[in-house]
Amino acid sequence: MTTKRIFILNGHPGESSLSRKLAETYATAANNAGHEVRITHLHDLNFDSDFGQSGFSKTKPLEPDLEKSLEDLKWSEHVVMTTPMWWGGLPAKLKGLIDRTFLPGHAFEMESSKDGLPSPLLKGRSARVFVTSDTPNWFMCIVYKNALFWQIRKQIFGFVGIKPARVTHFSGAGHAKAGVLARWIEQARNHGTSAT
């Protein structure tokens, strides 16, 4: 088995959460399988999540925690993110981290590629995202058209070259029974062992 450099971001802003448990389970399994792992918990990061500009010409200097997250992202070959879905999207602090760090010169180049879009700078990496929500899978698909999954896979990771970006959705998270939670944790463990 080929080992990978894996950056894991627990994107839940709370100190303890199911997202944290999934991230730590994945990390432990990946470590045990011989992969190199770096893990970050959003709760522990100190930064201004407001991009606060109308463009990219004068962005705020990155705080040390954001510089470290960007360094870990560039170091990685595989990115893992765990996050709840809140109000149909990502938690504000997690979205703020992406807004502040996925910048020209780091994540993409403003000069257009042949398809007219900015050129991605993070090619050669894959991603796995674990999303927890109370929304049933069928409702997410039929009513919401999997909009958050599309945003994560295409508009965030895909835009900067991280492909494939696969999403695993755990629905009914707010009232999941112990047996269901155990199955989800086992899925995270299996993905960690295989670095997928």
Residue 140 has a pLDDT of 95
Q: How confident is the model at residue 115 (pLDDT cuts 50, 70, 90)?
A: confident
Contacts of 14 (CB under 8 A, 6+ apart): 20, 43
Residue 105 has a pLDDT of 94
Task: Indicate whether 185 pLDDT > 90.
Answer: yes
Residue 116 has a pLDDT of 82
| Percent of the chain clearing pLDDT 70 (strictly above) | 99
Domain spanning 5-194: CATH superfamily = Flavodoxin domain (3.40.50.360)
Tens digits of residue pLDDT in 31-54 = 999 999 999 999 999 999 999 877
Give which of 121, 125, 120 is closest to 80, Cα–Cα: 125
Residue 57 has a pLDDT of 80
Tens digits of residue pLDDT in 65-100 = 999 999 999 999 999 999 999 999 999 999 999 999
